[in-house]
């Protein structure tokens, strides 16, 4: 094992990270100690921007908690999967004569929730999952394990601006269906057939208000118990299979 690499999830040090990016390795996120300056660090930042890898500037204590070795002020989480471009995925789906079914995840940060959502999505025939480049769960070993291999089989797209992506999907003929408690209509009371993007929000405060306003449909699931909401991975599974049910019924 490379002495600069302590496990399969991350690498550290300026030279190993530069070489990893040059060799085409996908990065989940790059952490750089605040105030660190060097030609090599400038190269890392420049390459990350070009490759659209998220960069976060953090206190040195954060890196020291991850590794006690000489990280030189920079650490990168290596992605076990390759990201796709949603702008290429949608035309490909149409070219193949299929009806797009996309999942949009707004700030889902728990890796196990993310893995479980991916597992349900792949089983329900979702074509791609879109996540923001900031404020999303890392695709790491826990996510891979919880997804039961689904993360290796489904298109995962990372975008800089989820609002812009929603506009692109709407322009491409998809309707946006937001899973939200802020509606009176149950999921099966809506037409969820046709090209569709299912939007789900964070575990803590749901879908951002700006994205909710862009949704064409708001759907909810009735509950007769005393709890106020479902776990987001459970809600995602129910919603995905309701779309699949309606697609089968429409055939």
pLDDT at 80: 87
Of 78, 110, 129, which residue constitutes the final position of a domain? 78
Strands (E) in the chain, as ranges, are 10-12, 27-33, 55-58, 74-78, 101-105, 128-132, 155-159, 175-179, 196-200, 217-219
User: In terms of domains, do 93 and 69 share one?
Assistant: no
Whether 179 and 141 map to the same domain: the answer is yes
Q: Are residues 16 and 128 in the same domain?
A: no
What is the per-residue pLDDT across 145-196, written as a single tens digit (0 to 9) for each?
Answer: 899 989 989 999 999 899 999 999 999 999 999 998 777 778 888 899 999 9
Report how far residue 63's alpha carbon sits from residue 40's, in angstroms, rounded to the nearest whole number.
Answer: 18
Q: Are residues 157 and 112 in the same domain?
A: yes
Note down pLDDT in tens along the chain; length 251 residues: 333 333 448 999 999 999 989 988 889 899 999 998 899 999 999 999 988 899 999 999 999 999 989 999 999 999 888 899 999 999 999 999 999 999 999 999 999 999 999 999 999 999 999 999 888 888 888 888 899 989 989 999 999 899 999 999 999 999 999 998 777 778 888 899 999 999 999 878 889 999 999 999 999 888 888 877 789 999 999 999 999 999 999 98
* Residues 205 and 92 grouped into a single domain: yes
Task: Indicate whether 140 and 18 sit together in one domain.
Answer: no
Regarding whether 48 and 126 lie in a shared domain, the answer is: no
- For 201, the domain range is 86-250
Same domain, 98 and 198: yes
Considering its fold, how many domains does the chain have in total? 2
User: Do 125 and 242 share a domain, yes or no?
Assistant: yes
């Amino acid at each position: 094992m490379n002495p600069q690499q302590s496990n399969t999830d991350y690498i550290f040090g300026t030279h190993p990270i530069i070489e990893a990016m040059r060799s085409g390795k996908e990065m989940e996120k790059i952490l750089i100690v605040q105030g660190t300056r060097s030609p090599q660090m400038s190269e890392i930042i420049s390459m990350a921007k070009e490759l659209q890898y998220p960069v976060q500037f953090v206190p040195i204590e954060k890196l020291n908690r991850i590794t006690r070795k000489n990280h030189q002020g920079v650490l990168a989480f290596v992605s076990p999967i390759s990201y796709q471009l949603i702008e290429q995925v949608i035309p490909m789906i149409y070219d193949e004569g299929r009806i797009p079914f996309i999942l949009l995840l707004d700030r889902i940060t728990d890796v196990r929730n993310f893995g479980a959502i991916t597992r349900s999505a792949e089983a329900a025939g979702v074509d791609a999952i879109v996540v923001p480049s900031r404020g999303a769960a890392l695709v790491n070993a826990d996510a891979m394990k919880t997804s039961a291999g689904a993360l290796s089989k489904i298109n995962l797209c990372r975008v800089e601006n989820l609002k812009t992506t929603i506009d692109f999907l709407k322009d491409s003929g998809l309707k946006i269906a937001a899973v939200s408690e802020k509606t009176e209509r149950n999921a099966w009371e809506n037409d969820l057939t046709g090209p569709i993007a299912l939007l789900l929000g964070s575990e803590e405060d749901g879908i951002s208000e700006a994205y909710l306003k862009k949704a064409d449909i708001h759907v909810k699931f009735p509950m007769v118990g005393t709890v106020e909401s479902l776990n987001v991975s459970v809600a995602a599974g129910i919603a995905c299979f309701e779309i699949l049910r309606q697609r089968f019924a429409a055939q």
